[in-house]
Chains A and B, each alone.
Chain A
């Protein structure tokens, strides 16, 4: 294990990519052979989408140290942008869907820029509520824009239907990888350290010559971009969109995932997305008491482990892999 520390970065990345490719291959094989049933495949796809949403919110909360509550709004923008594109474009959706997903991310990122520039002047709870406000406005605009302008774009409450269902197990998890990789790469760079320094002490960071507005906006736009990607995958998963699915509760759900996983820990977000998506399914054994058990679990975990499952620890890209190998990684890191 020790020797791996000295491997060049690119080799480390290649190892991780190879392991991940193996995971995808194994997953696909299991699905093909019906070892993993259709239902669990669907659950895994939801897990993947939640992972993307969580790791991107983690940029805003964990890395930047703010509390944006606008995930539902950006998700809606990404989902609708990509869905409208996928519906209109006459090319085989199986080929064109990466374009749709990137488009969803870009449009959402643009909204992130427009919203982030003014919103990021605020801090803490005020930033939380202002982003929540923007998200609600986005939802209401999507709901009413057709009527107001006399067009058929979003179909409002009547549902945007017939969206090509392009999201699969494989491409959802490929996007999880891309999101994690790019976010990690950003955080390991000069820019990432600038963002972390803003979290730790804004005033000190500013006096060191770090452009606060630029880096805050950058983190926010990346958050919006990947949330939009998550939204686009969500559209491709569901095949139908309704603005009511992007309410305030959705943002809260994602925040719960991130906090429970441990803010500032990407591995935490990833694991907690899986746990919080799968646990309610497993709790079905409790039938009617399910939601009560779930909320009790939430309270108990927070009381006994206030920093979340993984704490605030930072991980390197080996984190996911090492986690499953047990304690070794922790010793190494210390």
Chain B
């Protein structure tokens, strides 16, 4: 393998990894933008999505579309349910209580999954036949192509939704200043639920892509993934949608770059070091808005 094709190969690896991080980071970022909550349960919603994919793919193997639909629908439903049951009662409380509730929900989902489905990872059958595409002496697996394509489409759709629709405007208004938005006639509860629904639907898409790429579902699969995606969201500027995308790709690129120069044991340390440096130079993340303090 020539050095050039090696570099290109690694860039494709980075894009694939980064796009999954970006997709999950979006979920963190949207929820944070609207109710200022680090939703620890987000990564466990992905876990549930992966189990739904597993269930449908093992029982209805010839209908992958059904599995995709079920995973997305199931995640959306779960996300909204969590918001209604666990987060809505706490809307006026200190933010940290909300954070602890989110941690509690995360533990609950993980342990329920383990008790119900066992601690062993479930192998998810492939959604489509993985082949290796050759292009000018360069081999790329179909998984990478599909992952990158789906993430690009979802992100475009999301950006359009937030920028061009009425609901999107409501979401932006609530995240800007929820009280004023309410005075202007925005239905806060509906908007927040809608944001959770969208964020969880993205988690559903993320879970399907995850299963395509890594073909396993296990109760604790979300924890490390969630932490990285969360870091990506903060790195890009939490609350900012383009920021989450940029953050995801930066993390993906960093991990792959550090691994490819033979320092794979230091990979996570470098990711966090970059996060620290970025935050110190630009305290609200790469694309985060600088909020001026009012006296």
Contact = CB atoms under 8 A, between A and B. Distances in A.
In the complex, A touching B (Cβ < 8 A)? yes
A107 to B, nearest CB: 20
Contacts of A306: 90, 93-94, 97
Contacts of B105: 295, 299
Given A126-B234, A133-B231, A137-B269, A295 B96 contact: no
A126 B279 contact: yes
Dominant secondary structure at the A interface: helix
Interface residues of B, number: 43
B238 A125 contact: yes
Interface in A248-273: 248-249, 252, 255-256, 259-260, 263
Interface stretch (B108-116, B135-143, B152-160, B206-214): B108-116
Contacts of A263: 94, 96
A136 B272 contact: yes
A74 to B, nearest CB: 16
Contacts of B273: 133, 137
A302 B231 contact: no
Contact of B96 (A67, A121, A248): A67
Contacts of A128: 38
Nearest to A131: B276
A13 B66 CA distance: 69
Contacts of B103: 252, 256, 298
Given A259-B97, A291-B111, A302 B276 contact: no
B284 A126 contact: yes
B100 interface: yes
Given A126-B279, A292-B115, A303-B86, A298 B107 contact: yes
B100 A256 contact: yes
A259 B272 CA distance: 26
A298 B90 CA distance: 13
B30 to A, nearest CB: 15
Nearest to A256: B100
B272 A133 contact: yes
A295 B234 CA distance: 26
A130 B276 contact: yes
Interface centre among B86, B107, B223 (most CB of A within 10 A): B107
Given A121-B283, A140-B266, A263-B96, A248 B108 contact: no
A140 B38 contact: no
Interface string B87-104: 001100110111111011
Contacts of A61: 96
Interface centre among A140, A143, A248 (most CB of B within 10 A): A140
B268 interface: yes
B269 A292 contact: no
A122 interface: yes
Interface string B200-232: 000000000000000000000001000100110
Contacts of A292: 108, 111-112, 115
Interface centre among A125, A249, A260, A288 (most CB of B within 10 A): A125
B275 interface: yes
A110 to B, nearest CB: 18
Contact of A129 (B99, B108, B231): B231
B89 A303 contact: yes
Given A125-B238, A133-B231, A203-B295, A259 B96 contact: yes
Contact of B280 (A118, A143, A203, A248): A118
A302 B90 contact: yes
Interface in B45-73: none
B275 A291 contact: no
Interface in B233-292: 234, 238, 265-266, 268-269, 272-273, 275-276, 279-280, 283-285
A67 B236 CA distance: 20
B101 A303 contact: yes
A107 B138 CA distance: 51
Contacts of A119: 276
A133 B276 contact: yes
Contacts of A303: 86, 89-90, 101
Given A288-B115, A302-B90, A130 B284 contact: no
B96 A299 contact: no
A144 interface: yes
Interface centre among A137, A291, A296, A299 (most CB of B within 10 A): A299
Given A306-B94, A307-B94, A130 B275 contact: yes
Contacts of A118: 276, 280
Contact of B279 (A130, A147, A252, A296): A130
Given A133-B272, A140-B266, A147-B265, A299 B234 contact: no
21 contacts: A125-B36, A126-B234, A126-B283, A126-B284, A129-B230, A129-B234, A132-B272, A133-B275, A137-B272, A140-B265, A147-B265, A259-B97, A263-B94, A288-B115, A291-B107, A292-B108, A295-B105, A298-B100, A302-B90, A302-B104, A306-B97
Given A248-B227, A255-B100, 9 more contacts: A119-B276, A122-B280, A125-B32, A126-B234, A129-B275, A203-B295, A289-B115, A298-B107, A299-B86
Interface of B: 32, 36, 38, 86, 89-90, 93-94, 96-101, 103-105, 107-108, 111-112, 115, 223, 227, 230-231, 234, 238, 265-266, 268-269, 272-273, 275-276, 279-280, 283-285, 293, 295
Interface of A: 61, 67, 118-119, 121-122, 125-126, 128-130, 132-134, 136-137, 140-141, 143-144, 147, 203, 248-249, 252, 255-256, 259-260, 263, 288-289, 291-292, 294-296, 298-299, 302-303, 306-308
